């Protein structure tokens, strides 16, 4: 897999996690631990994208 293809996949996963975080924040019954875990996953992806992009 090329770097560009890998970056594209990471960006798709990041966008999907963004959607899930937004949805979880709108849901009053969402567990704080689950929301925190989603945000951590999103941050890890963002860091990986940034590292590969430079």
Backbone angles phi, psi at 43, to 5 degrees: -65, -40
Torsion sign across C-alpha atoms 7, 1, 38, 36:
negative
pTM of the predicted model over 0.75:
yes
Spell out, as residue ranges, where the chain has pLDDT lower than 70.
none
CB 42 within 8 A of CB 21: yes
pLDDT of residue 42: 96
Q: Which residues contact 39 (CB under 8 A, 6 or more apart)?
A: 21
Q: CA 53 from chain center: how many Å?
A: 16
pLDDT of residue 12: 97
């Amino acid at each position: 897999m090329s770097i560009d293809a890998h970056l594209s996949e990471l960006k798709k996963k990041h966008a999907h996690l963004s959607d899930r975080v937004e949805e979880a924040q709108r849901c009053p019954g969402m567990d704080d631990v689950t929301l925190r875990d989603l945000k951590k996953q999103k941050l890890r992806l963002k860091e990986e994208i940034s590292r590969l992009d430079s």
